[in-house]
Chain A
Amino acid sequence: MINFQNVSKQYKHSDPALSDVTFKINPKEFVSIVGRSGAGKSTLVKLLIAEEKPSKGRVIFGHYDVGKMKSTELPKLRRHIGVVFQDFRLLPTKSAYENIAFALEVAGRKHNEIDDLVCEVLDLVGLSGKGENFPNELSGGEKQRIAIARAMVNRPDVIVADEPTGNLDPMNTLEVVNLLTQINELGTTVILATHNQEVVNQLSKRVIVLENGRIVRDEEGGRYSLT
């Protein structure tokens, strides 16, 4: 489903962020992409969601050649990918409910359908009573759960989470990781970019380790250690 073919990314005036990266991710997989800060995890996520274009190689998502897509075609791609970030990226002028509903509204869903789906995912992330709250009225963990709810509400093919637990305490980290696991069990591919060893080791899923922009390990049920 996702295929990185000899992908390199070079930003101006710096070392390569990614060098000749090749891997495949199959539907319904849970893959952790790990590495220290600056290893290239976020660049990899940005290439997948077309926030950046590869300098070399191809990024294939389903039938899309992501690196070659025009800016006007990107909304279609992004409706297939739910994204969760460390800084939550919720719309500050919209309530929790509206933030989730927005993803459905831009996809052209009908009003009744939207109401049902939003209530359903709010329930799933355990925030049924917080729909009317604005992001500045929510805790970090709650914001991240709303971000996950928004990412999954469109039933995307894949959810990409870039350091989703970076700003959270251990309790909220656990809740977020459990949520991602649950989403994966429901059939959605999950890509988790993180440098949190505990999270990765607890998951026991496929781990791709990046170092200085290169893949140094890719193993099923892998572990992540800093040595």
Chain B
Amino acid sequence: MATALYRLIKYGFQTFWRQRLLTVATMVVILLALLVFQGLIISGVVGTTALNAIQDKIDISVYFKLNTPEDEILRIKRELEGAEEVKAVEYVSRDDAYERFQARHSDDETITQALEELEENPLSASLNIKAKNPEEYASVASFLESIVSDELVENITYNQNQAVIDRLGAIIRVSRQVGVLIAVFLTVVAVLVSFNTILLGIYSNRDEIAIMRLVGASNLYIRGPFVVMGIIYGVITSLLSVLLTVPIIFLSSPYVGLFIPEMDLAGYYMDHLLALISYQLAFGVGVGIISSFIAIRRYLKT
């Protein structure tokens, strides 16, 4: 068995090297398919981060009247935290609000002076509520209205921004769905193109396969070298794909950071380098092996 395996690997490398033109042509197509595949993974991550960043900026704030007791606000906070749709609730006390306001307007002398002239803190305490899903803000808002009496509330921002929040929610949902559809479509295209290229390569070897059969080669000896070649294609193209992508990632990372501050593209790429190589190896080697099996099947009948 070890001898047979050694021979299969030897034939695989031999054919790979001796049919260089065919090999290079096949690998270029697989490489392009892998670049598309890798691009899909990376743009998926960038897109998701961007959508999450937008989603994170949506919230509902409830501003309480100045005389609302803190205990009452904390009770409402606890109730909200118990609700299924709610992801997080942040309590901003009147003092916190004052400090934040001061910090935000520290450069504006007029506002700083006006604040100092006031004897009492004019700002309300508030709760900032984030929903798990941007489309659940309507139900969070109605739940909120059901547990908070109108006498305590100064203002609920959802009522002012309802149209924008709903539209953003819909945009995020559709963007995710379209993203998945495009990813699936392009992956299928990449797989089919790679498949066809390998199939054509094997088709051009059909006479050799017939000769091998006539000489008494078993299916293992005929399939084996093509499978080995499929593995070589996968390994070389996935490494090339990573080598070609690294400079592009490092060059584009600062620009991506400008648009999506939450995204460190270069950091993500290096952290996930092994996983990305593994995905591409699985793609390249998988396509190589499966297409070799399918293509040769028809030539092994006689």
Spell out A's residues near B (CB within 8 Å). Answer: 49-52, 71-72, 74-79, 83, 89-94, 102-103, 105-108, 110-111, 150, 154
Q: Are A89 and B214 in contact (CB under 8 A)?
A: yes
Q: List 11 A-B contacts (CB under 8 A).
A: A75-B213, A75-B216, A75-B217, A76-B216, A77-B216, A78-B213, A78-B216, A79-B216, A106-B215, A108-B4, A154-B216
**Closest A residue, CB atoms, query B217:** A106
Name A91's contact: one of B3, B212, B218, B300 (CB within 8 Å).
B212
Q: Are A106 and B216 in contact (CB under 8 A)?
A: yes
- Give the Cβ gap from A83 to chain B, nearest Cβ, in Å: 5
Q: Which of chain A's residues have a CB closer than 8 A to the CB of B15?
A: 93
**Cβ of B163 < 8 Å from any Cβ of A?**
no
In chain B, residues 209-229, which have Cβ atoms closer than 8 Å to a Cβ of chain A?
Answer: 210-219, 221
Q: Are B208 and A91 in contact (CB under 8 A)?
A: yes
Q: How far is the CA of A51 from the CA of B299 in the complex (A)?
A: 12
Q: Which of chain A's residues have a CB closer than 8 A to the CB of B7?
A: 105
Q: Are B300 and A71 in contact (CB under 8 A)?
A: yes
Top 3 nearest A-B pairs (CB, nearest first) are A78-B216, A79-B216, A106-B217
Q: How far is the CA of A51 from the CA of B210 in the complex (A)?
A: 10
Main secondary structure of the interface of B (DSSP, over half): helix
Q: Which of chain A's residues have a CB closer than 8 A to the CB of B212?
A: 91, 102, 106
Q: Which of chain B's residues have a CB closer than 8 A to the CB of A89?
A: 207, 210-211, 214
In chain B, residues 1-36, which have Cβ atoms closer than 8 Å to a Cβ of chain A?
Answer: 3-4, 7, 14-15, 18-19
Q: Which of chain B's residues have a CB closer than 8 A to the CB of A91?
A: 208, 211-212
Q: Are A51 and B302 in contact (CB under 8 A)?
A: yes
Q: Are B300 and A78 in contact (CB under 8 A)?
A: no
Q: How far is the CA of A216 from the CA of B210 in the complex (A)?
A: 32
- Give the Cβ gap from B30 to chain A, nearest Cβ, in Å: 21
**Cβ of B104 < 8 Å from any Cβ of A?**
no
Q: Which of chain B's residues have a CB closer than 8 A to the CB of A51?
A: 214, 302
- Give the Cβ gap from A190 to chain B, nearest Cβ, in Å: 17
- Tell me whether A102 and B4 are in contact in the complex, defined as CB-CB below 8 angstroms, given that A71-B301, A71-B302, A93-B18 are known contacts: no
Name B208's contact: one of A72, A92, A105 (CB within 8 Å).
A92
Q: How far is the CA of A169 from the CA of B206 in the complex (A)?
A: 29
Q: Which of chain A's residues have a CB closer than 8 A to the CB of B14?
A: 93-94
Spell out B's residues near A (CB within 8 Å). Answer: 3-4, 7, 14-15, 18-19, 207-208, 210-219, 221, 300-302
Q: Which of chain B's residues have a CB closer than 8 A to the CB of A111?
A: 3
- Tell me whether A90 and B216 are in contact in the complex, defined as CB-CB below 8 angstroms, given that A106-B221, A110-B3 are known contacts: no
- Give the Cβ gap from A33 to chain B, nearest Cβ, in Å: 18
Q: Which of chain B's residues have a CB closer than 8 A to the CB of A78?
A: 213-216
Q: Are B3 and A90 in contact (CB under 8 A)?
A: no
**Closest B residue, CB atoms, query A77:** B216
Q: Are A103 and B213 in contact (CB under 8 A)?
A: no
Q: Which of chain A's residues have a CB closer than 8 A to the CB of B211?
A: 89-91
**Closest B residue, CB atoms, query A53:** B302
**Closest B residue, CB atoms, query A49:** B214
Q: How far is the CA of A71 from the CA of B207 in the complex (A)?
A: 17
- Give the Cβ gap from A142 to chain B, nearest Cβ, in Å: 17
**Closest A residue, CB atoms, query B209:** A91
Q: How far is the CA of A154 from the CA of B216 in the complex (A)?
A: 10
- Give the Cβ gap from A87 to chain B, nearest Cβ, in Å: 10
- Tell me whether A150 and B4 are in contact in the complex, defined as CB-CB below 8 angstroms, given that A91-B208, A93-B18, A93-B19 are known contacts: no
- Give the Cβ gap from B231 to chain A, nearest Cβ, in Å: 19
Q: Taking A83-B214, A91-B212, A102-B215 as given, write out 15 further A-B residue pairs in contact, using a Cβ cutoff of 8 Å, ordered by the A residue number.
A: A72-B219, A75-B213, A75-B218, A78-B214, A79-B216, A89-B211, A91-B208, A91-B211, A93-B14, A93-B15, A94-B14, A106-B216, A107-B216, A110-B3, A154-B216
Q: Which of chain B's residues have a CB closer than 8 A to the CB of A75?
A: 213, 216-219
Q: Which of chain A's residues have a CB closer than 8 A to the CB of B213?
A: 74-75, 78
Q: Which of chain A's residues have a CB closer than 8 A to the CB of B214?
A: 49, 51, 78, 83, 89
Q: How far is the CA of A110 from the CA of B4 in the complex (A)?
A: 10
Q: Which of chain B's residues have a CB closer than 8 A to the CB of A74?
A: 213, 302
- Give the Cβ gap from A138 to chain B, nearest Cβ, in Å: 16
Q: How far is the CA of A79 from the CA of B4 in the complex (A)?
A: 17
Name A106's contact: one of B18, B218, B300, B302 (CB within 8 Å).
B218
Q: Which of chain A's residues have a CB closer than 8 A to the CB of B301?
A: 71
- Give the Cβ gap from A19 to chain B, nearest Cβ, in Å: 23
